[in-house]
Each structure stands twice: as structure tokens, then as C-alpha cells.
């Protein structure tokens, strides 16, 4: 049950760093994650089993969006089809800031770096959620680092999921079928500094995340806020060395409402004098494969690809391309509504 928390809990993952983790430490970690996801839905995780520190992660943002990063023309060669009709990529790649939009951010998204061999019968070639990643030609080494970070965050998600399975009283392997052909997305985000003529309070409007788990790196700028059970917005400031991890809508349903998909938002912070960078954040959205049957503890089920296509109809960056979706998921939509 959501509580009137006034700060986010901090949980150490040091138990995962050992090559042979102690069973009692893993059991304690599983119980602690269950507790925080049942009460706040959000947690800072520290002692992360990643080879990337914050400097490495935000270095990727700087290489893409920073003063010495890609020009707007270069970024637009990677833009999704909604923004550049002649581009082929619909799901992965760049999205620019939208004039007049509530969410004032640009982003670059990549998926699991696997080589796909078949087109999904669910979406067909016209709208392909398993399309390859796109990178700028001069970015070979950047590509390797982005894809390695994706792989490490996927591996960490897998370990968190097995701890969460145990918390639900299921075998540690309960969520393993989520891992086949996973659609997980790594998103590099840049919130440009707000110009004085556009004093906008919110740069990312209140929402819950739609999927399973989100693992977020945020830079020291601050501005992330999380809503408690009394509808108060609680600041979630930068904690060095941590990631903010939260439950998505689908995982809340999988757990039968035991875990909470908590509303969150980002407020603009006043730029320091001479500040031109803005804010960087890097969410990793753990997502199952397109054909994965996601079953809740109450026995409801949905095919993940149908869930995500349904959600995309409400997302601004897919408005053009999702026109084709109703025919493609005609049967699946009924299942989604039931779930
Ligand atoms: O930028 C952030 O700190 C949060 C971003 C977010 O909530 C999202 O992309 O879903
Ligand atoms: Fe979010």
C-alpha cells in the first residue's frame, strides 16, 4: 500500500557484487525490495554491479547532446520516421524537442543489440519494434559503450527480477521468459536549459512508467519528484553512485497490485549562471519480448507486444506511425483491456 513517505529509501546491492552471494543476504535483499516497492514504488539502489560510473554514463549524453556532440542535422539523420519521413527507423533513434510541448526534452533510444532474424507476425515489417539500433557513422566506439551499458543494465534487471520473483513466493526463475528477445530500451535524455522567455515549471509531466522496471541514472541537476499517497510531491535529488529504480504499470498488475507504479515528474531547476548544458538523465526501461505472455498473480495475461502498441497510441512521438496499429492488434486490444 502506498504510504505518505517523505523521502525515497536507499538500498545497497552489495550482496550482488560477490561471485558467490550468500543466500541469507539475497533473502534479506529480496524482502527489502518487496517492502520498498509495496510502499513507495521507488528506491535508490547503491553499490551497483556495473562497470559504468556516473561520469561514464553522462559522458555518453555529452558525446551525443553536448557542445562537442552531434549537430542538429546529424541528430536528424537518426530521427524517428515521425520526425523525418524519409528515415526508416520508427522505434529506435532520436527524437527532438517539440515546440510548445509540455515535455521539454530531446532523446536518443536504443534497444537490445541482438541481430534479429525474423519479422514479428504481431507488428509486421511496417511497424517493427525489433528494428536495429541506429548510430551516427562517426560513433562506432560510442555505439559499443551504449550497447555495453544496455547489456549490463539488462543483466542487473534480470537479477532484480529473480529477487522480486522470490518476494512473490515464486521460483527465482519465474520471470526468465521475459528475457527472450527482450525489447528493453536505453534512453539518453537531455532537458535543455529553459530560456527566460519560456519559464516552464515542468519539463517532464506527471506520469507512471508503462512497463516492468525502470532503472534511472540522473545527473546532479535535480528536479525529479515522486508523488506519495497524500498527493505531495517528494523531491528525489541526486544521490552520488546511485540509480533510482521504480515499478511500471505492467509490473504493478503482474504483482496483483502489491507493488506500486508511482507517479513522478521533473521540475525545471534554475540554471546556474552561465549554465548551458541543462539536465541529463538516462532511464533504462526493462521490457519483455514482443511475444512474451505476461501473466499476473491473479491469472490475467497479456502479450507484451500488444500492451506496448496500445500504450504507444498515446505517445506523441508515435502519432503518425501508430495509425496502422488498430488493424495489427485488433484481437490483442481486447486482451489488453481485460488485463
Ligand atoms: O528524467 C528523469 O529523471 C525521469 C524521466 C522519466 O521519468 C521517464 O523518461 O519516464
Ligand atoms: Fe518515468
pLDDT per residue as tens digits for the range 22-77 = 999 999 999 999 999 999 999 999 999 999 999 999 999 999 999 999 999 999 99
Backbone φ and ψ of 143, nearest 5°: -60, -45
Domain assignment present for residue 27? The answer is yes
Total structural domains in the chain? 1
C-alpha grid cell, residue 225: 519528484
Alpha carbons 274 and 180: distance in angstroms, whole number: 47
Domain assignment present for residue 61? The answer is yes
Nearest CA to ligand 1 atom 9: 283
Domain assignment present for residue 4? The answer is no
Phi and psi based region of residue 178 (left: phi greater than 0; alpha: psi -120 to 50; beta: remaining): alpha
Alpha carbons 69 and 54: distance in angstroms, whole number: 18
C-alpha grid cell, residue 154: 539488462
Which pLDDT score is estimated for 185? Answer: 96
261 in contact with ligand 1, CB cutoff 6 A = no
Alpha carbons 294 and 256: distance in angstroms, whole number: 12
Residue ranges of the chain with pLDDT lower than 70? Answer: 102, 114-127, 195-200, 271-276, 315-339
Q: Which residue has the cell 562537442?
A: 68
Which pLDDT score is estimated for 329? Answer: 34
Which pLDDT score is estimated for 197? Answer: 59
Nearest CA to ligand 1 atom 8: 283
Domain assignment present for residue 212? The answer is yes
| 52 CA from centroid of ligand 2 (Å) | 22
Which pLDDT score is estimated for 119? Answer: 55
CB 26 within 8 A of CB 15: yes
| DSSP H or E run through 265 | strand 264-267
Pairing of strands 233-235, 224-227: antiparallel
CB 275 within 8 A of CB 193: yes
Residue 268's nearest CA partner among 225, 304, 298, 312 is 225
**91: Cα within 13 Å, side-chain hemisphere:** 23
CATH number, domain of 130, equals 2.60.120.330
Domain assignment present for residue 5? The answer is no
Domain assignment present for residue 2? The answer is no
Kindly tell me the burial class for residue 42, based on how many C-beta atoms sit within 10 Å of its own C-beta (0-12, 13-18, 19 or more).
buried
User: DSSP label at 79?
Assistant: B
Domain assignment present for residue 338? The answer is no
Which pLDDT score is estimated for 43? Answer: 98
Q: Which residue has the cell 553536448?
A: 66
| Ligand whose nearest atom lies closest to the CA of 281 | 1
| 23 CA from centroid of ligand 2 (Å) | 32
218 in contact with ligand 1, CB cutoff 6 A = yes
| DSSP H or E run through 162 | helix 140-167
Domain ranges, residue 169: 10-332
Question: How large is the greatest C-alpha to C-alpha distance in the chain, in angstroms?
Answer: 57
Domain assignment present for residue 339? The answer is no
Amino acid at each position: 500500500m502506498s504510504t505518505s513517505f517523505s523521502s525515497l529509501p536507499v538500498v545497497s546491492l552489495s550482496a550482488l557484487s560477490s561471485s558467490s552471494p550468500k543466500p541469507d543476504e539475497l533473502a534479506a535483499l529480496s524482502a527489502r525490495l518487496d517492502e520498498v516497492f509495496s510502499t513507495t514504488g521507488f528506491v535508490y539502489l547503491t553499490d551497483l554491479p556495473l562497470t559504468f560510473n556516473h561520469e561514464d554514463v553522462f559522458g555518453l549524453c555529452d558525446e551525443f547532446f553536448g557542445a562537442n556532440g552531434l549537430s542538429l542535422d546529424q541528430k536528424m539523420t537518426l530521427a524517428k520516421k515521425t520526425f523525418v519521413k524519409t528515415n526508416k527507423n520508427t522505434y529506435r533513434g532520436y527524437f527532438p524537442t517539440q515546440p510548445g510541448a509540455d515535455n521539454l526534452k530531446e532523446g536518443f533510444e536504443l534497444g537490445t543489440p541482438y541481430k534479429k532474424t525474423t519479422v514479428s507476425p504481431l507488428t509486421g515489417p511496417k511497424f517493427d519494434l525489433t528494428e536495429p539500433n541506429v548510430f551516427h557513422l562517426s560513433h562506432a566506439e560510442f555505439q559499443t559503450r551504449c550497447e555495453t551499458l544496455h547489456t549490463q543494465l539488462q543483466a542487473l534487471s534480470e537479477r532484480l527480477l529473480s529477487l522480486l520473483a522470490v518476494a512473490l513466493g515464486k521460483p527465482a526463475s519465474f520471470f526468465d521468459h521475459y528475457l527472450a528477445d527482450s525489447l528493453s530500451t536505453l534512453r539518453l535524455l537531455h532537458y535543455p536549459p529553459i530560456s527566460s522567455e519560456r519559464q516552464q515549471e515542468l519539463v517532464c509531466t506527471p506520469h507512471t512508467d508503462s512497463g516492468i522496471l525502470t532503472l534511472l541514472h540522473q545527473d546532479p541537476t535535480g528536479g525529479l519528484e515522486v508523488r506519495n499517497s497524500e498527493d505531495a510531491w517528494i523531491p528525489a535529488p541526486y544521490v552520488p553512485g546511485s540509480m533510482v529504480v521504480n515499478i511500471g504499470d505492467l509490473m504493478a498488475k503482474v504483482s496483483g497490485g502489491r507493488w506500486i507504479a508511482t507517479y513522478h515528474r521533473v521540475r525545471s531547476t534554475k540554471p546556474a549562471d552561465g549554465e548551458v548544458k541543462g539536465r541529463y538523465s538516462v532511464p533504462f526501461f526493462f521490457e519483455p519480448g514482443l511475444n512474451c505472455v505476461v501473466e499476473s498473480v491473479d491469472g490475467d495475461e497479456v502479450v507484451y507486444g500488444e500492451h506496448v502498441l496500445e500504450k504507444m497510441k498515446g505517445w506523441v512521438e508515435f502519432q503518425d506511425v501508430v495509425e496502422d496499429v488498430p488493424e495489427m492488434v485488433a484481437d490483442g486490444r481486447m486482451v489488453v483491456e481485460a488485463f
